[in-house]
Structure 1
């Protein structure tokens, strides 16, 4: 049994998992986490966490961690840390990745198709091909 929530069957009565190190890691080591299919994954440990709409956490781990409950107060604090991580780290990272993907170098077939399309447009307009001066290719980037 690797999935658990606040009512875990294997949890010791009266014992709650201390998630303070995870809260700290979300704030100070955000690159250690990733979000996939609704699960927050701590990459170094492979522990996975899923939050419901009320902020309760489900833990998936291959160790005893998955059999423990999280104290309600810490669960709220963990959910707030997760929400902050997602808003300030994960979403901007995803936006940056998507934006960068718009400018990646196209493969040879796409480049060939674009060249043919531009040649066809110039032919239809009977325009001369565009030439780029060698000085423009040796431009120095702005500081």
Structure 2
């Protein structure tokens, strides 16, 4: 077979991935996305996106989308939209989840350990267990509001 040089026809360029639907989804459907180990995940399509510090994006998908690079003129807008999504939507969710985890009910082993630790502290200090006398409860009956 002879050597054949391949050239794109005049007026044609290399095809790039148009990410305008992704930009719109980040703006108007932010709950379709989440973050996992540095990857932006789009749950409905199962596409994943990773942004480097310079704003370049890596697309990971089980379809042909991953074979194409993002349009260079859309890269900056996509990165800016991602940063806004992360700051305005995702970081508050992460903060609230972390805060809630501080108050989650511990498992049975942790509760047992805490009970044993508190009993030991009371024993060392010779304190009586905390509690209310039954007589105090009888006197503190609720009266109806008038």
C-alpha displacement at 1:44, in angstroms?
1.0
C-alpha displacement at 1:22, in angstroms?
0.8
C-alpha displacement at 1:105, in angstroms?
0.8
1:5-44 pair list within 5 angstroms: 13-44=13-44
**Unaligned 5+ residue runs, structure 1?**
1-11, 135-143
> What's the counterpart of residue 123 of structure 2?
123
> What's the counterpart of residue 109 of structure 1?
109
**Unaligned 5+ residue runs, structure 2?**
1-11, 138-146
TM-score, normalising length: structure 1: 0.76
Structure with bigger RCO (C-alpha 8 Å, 6+ apart): 1
Q: Does 1:55 align with 2:52?
A: no
What SS class does the counterpart of residue 69 from structure 1 fall into?
coil
Mapped to 2, the partners of 1:90 and 1:41 lie a distance apart of: 12
CA RMSD of aligned residues (A): 2.0
- Of structures 1 and 2, the larger Rg is shown by 2
> What's the counterpart of residue 9 of structure 1?
none
C-alpha displacement at 1:17, in angstroms?
2.1
What SS class does the counterpart of residue 116 from structure 2 fall into?
helix
Structure with greater strand percent:
1
Mapped to 1, the partners of 2:62 and 2:106 lie a distance apart of: 42
What SS class does the counterpart of residue 113 from structure 1 fall into?
helix
Number of residue pairs aligned between Structure 1 and Structure 2: 123
Mapped to 1, the partners of 2:87 and 2:130 lie a distance apart of: 45
Mapped to 1, the partners of 2:59 and 2:104 lie a distance apart of: 37
TM-score, normalising length: structure 2: 0.75
C-alpha displacement at 1:78, in angstroms?
0.5
> What's the counterpart of residue 6 of structure 2?
none
